[in-house]
Each structure stands twice: as structure tokens, then as C-alpha cells.
Structure 1
Amino acid sequence: MTHEALPGPPPARILSPDELLHLARAVGERDAWRDCLSECDDERSYAAYFLNEHVGIWIIEWRDDSHDTGYHDHDWSCGGVYVAQGAIRHEKLRLGHRPVGTRVDAGSGFCFDRTAIHRMRREPGAGPTVTVHAYSPPLTYTGQYGQHDDGLLHRVPTSSEESLQPTGRQGTPTGRIGDGTAADS
């Protein structure tokens, strides 16, 4: 899409995490993202929405409770995520402890710096969910994390063009309140 789909002029510099959340929210609230998603019943779909040398914006549609990014980082990029529809579970990795998990509902979001390792999945039972992701500098690589057979945490470098999927064992996820697991939100 062109910059006309943005709520203002195209960014002309690298943005901070707070600025990225503001941008993701502005895009998500405009509903202009709806045209860039294709209908898909069994896979998480994603589409590039805007890209220049300073910022990349992606739209992700989560159509099933099993859709899960697994733990990952964003290499050199900071980010802001806005939930435009539905709800996601955002989990931060903690070594030796359960992850810190938070339900993020439509109309809310979060941001992160380039040191963050996190996981996102559709909140169980939330229905179709759409998130807007803004990265600065534009996302080119991610690192996917998982515990492998040797018991160690491994990072697998992955192109940003590839769909994130859990790799290796991901530990015990946080759950919804009332589902029999301890929710950390």
C-alpha cells in the first residue's frame, strides 16, 4: 500500500517504541488495513501494509486458537502492536519461571524495544483477531527461540518474510483465567 493509507506523512526517521505504538493504533483505528488481508480459514495470514527506510507496518490476522508465533525477537527493530479486532495473549519469556502473560483486547496495544523476547498467540475463544505491527527500523530478520533436545535455549535466525511458528519446546504458556491454568494477567 502507499503512504496515503497512513494517518499522516510517512515517517522520515527511526521511531521510538512509544511512537510505533501510536502509529500502529492510528492505522488500526482507520480500518484501511481491511483491504490488504486475504481470507484464510486455517492459517495465520499477514500482509505488508507500509514500508519505507524508517518504518515497516504489517497486518496479521489470527483465525484459530492454535495460531502462535512462538518466542521470538525482532533483531535490530523496536515495535508497537495494536489489537484492531479480537484479543491476543502476549507472553514475555522468563527463564526458570512461567512466562508473564497478558490478554490484550481490541483497542489496546503494547510496545517493545529491540531487546525483547516475546510470544503472541490468539487468546483462546477470542474469535477472529487482527493486529497491526509497526517496526522501526523495518523488520528484516527475527530470531525464533525454543528449548531443543539438548535442554538449551536455541535462537534460529529467520527472514521477516517467513511466518513465525513455535520452534522447539516453548514451556508452559500462560492461560485464561478459569481455564485451569494460572493466568498471570
Structure 2
Amino acid sequence: MTTASPVNIEHAKDIHPDLDMALLHEAVIADRILWSPAELHELTSAVASELATPLLDIVRFDPAQRWWTRLALTMGVELWLLSWTPGQGTEPHDHGGASGSFTVSIGELDEDFSHGNGPVRSTSWRAGDTVAFGPERAHQLHNRSARPAATVHAYSPPLRPVRHYRALSDFRGV
């Protein structure tokens, strides 16, 4: 697992050294302090599709533990690349009041999710699918397929602590 150094300067950008290219610099807008779910959707979708080859050079699949690396960080958004080998997944969690988005770039993932006091729902996401959400969503992701998967995630505001739950039904909104 790798991470980049935190950003401490307003309007600064921290970009993964293997993705220090114009497209990512243009997509990650340093002076946007708060990104909407629609803007996060656009970001993860564009990065997953336009930077597919460089992402393949970075991603690592580790059956012993989930792997991730931060791709970019500003005062308003953080962008991550995650991998999921068969059987790997998360515990039920929310994103501490942040909005988010993820795009499946390789493989497929199953998601169980809840909005506030709503029912727990389940869906499957395949390569090319993008989902964006506001701060009122809790979820858990699993790779139940026989093939590895990779996803690009974005959150705004960045660096919010994730809150874990015993079960998604315990989530009551933010």
C-alpha cells in the first residue's frame, strides 16, 4: 500500500508521481473546495476511462490484503485507486459526511448500500459503471467474482474519517 504526502497549502495539488500528466492536472481542480456528487462522478469516470493504461501500470493485486494508492489530493477532493482480488471486500461504512463516487475500471463488484433510514439494497457494478452519492449513504463492497477488480474513488471533502458499522441496518444517516 502506498500513499502520497498530505497537502498543507491552500489550492495546492498532490498528484501520484506515475500519473503526473496534463489530463489529471486538468481534471483535479485545485481551487474547487467542495465537489458535488455529479462532479465526483465526472472525475472518477474520466480518470478510469482516459487513464486506463497508466492505471494498469500502477494497480497491484494482493490476495493477502486489499491494496490502494492515492492518485491525487487537493483541499477539496481526494482520488484513489483500489484493487479487489476475489473474496475481498469492505465492512459496512460511510464516508464521514463526505460525498463520493467510484468507477469500476476492471472486473465487477457487488454493493450493499443504505440511504439514511432507508432499506438496505444490493446491486452489482461492472467495468465502466460509475456511481456517485451524497453524504447520507453507507455501503459495503465485495468482489464475489472469480476475477480481480479495480476501482477509482473520489471523496469531497477529503480526509474524512470513515465510520464502520456492524451491519448496514445500523446506519441512520449523517
Matches within 5 A, 1:4-83: 4=21, 6=24, 8-11=26-29, 12-13=31-32, 14-29=34-49, 30-31=51-52, 32-65=54-87, 67-83=88-104
| Counterpart position of 2:130 | 109
Distance 2:39 2:134 in 1: 12
Give me the TM-score of the superposition, normalised by structure 2. Answer: 0.75
Give me the TM-score of the superposition, normalised by structure 1. Answer: 0.71
Contact 1:44 1:64 in 2 (8 A): no
The one-letter code of the counterpart of 1:80 is S
Deviation at 1:34, TM superposition (A): 2.7
| Counterpart position of 2:111 | 90
Deviation at 1:8, TM superposition (A): 2.0
More helix by share: 2
Deviation at 1:138, TM superposition (A): 1.1
Give 4+ residue runs of structure 1 displaced > 3 Å after superposition. Answer: 93-98, 152-155
Contact 1:146 1:154 in 2 (8 A): no
The CA deviation string for residues 137-156 of structure 1, in whole angstroms up to 9 with x for no partner, is 11331000015xxxx9489x
CA separation of 1:47 and 1:59: change in aligned 2, threshold 3 A: same
RMSD, matched Cα: 2.6
Give the total of aligned pairs: 149
| Counterpart position of 1:165 | none
Deviation at 1:21, TM superposition (A): 1.0
Deviation at 1:98, TM superposition (A): 7.0
CA separation of 1:126 and 1:87: change in aligned 2, threshold 3 A: farther
The CA deviation string for residues 31-50 of structure 1, in whole angstroms up to 9 with x for no partner, is 23233333423221111111
CA separation of 1:97 and 1:16: change in aligned 2, threshold 3 A: closer
The one-letter code of the counterpart of 1:110 is V
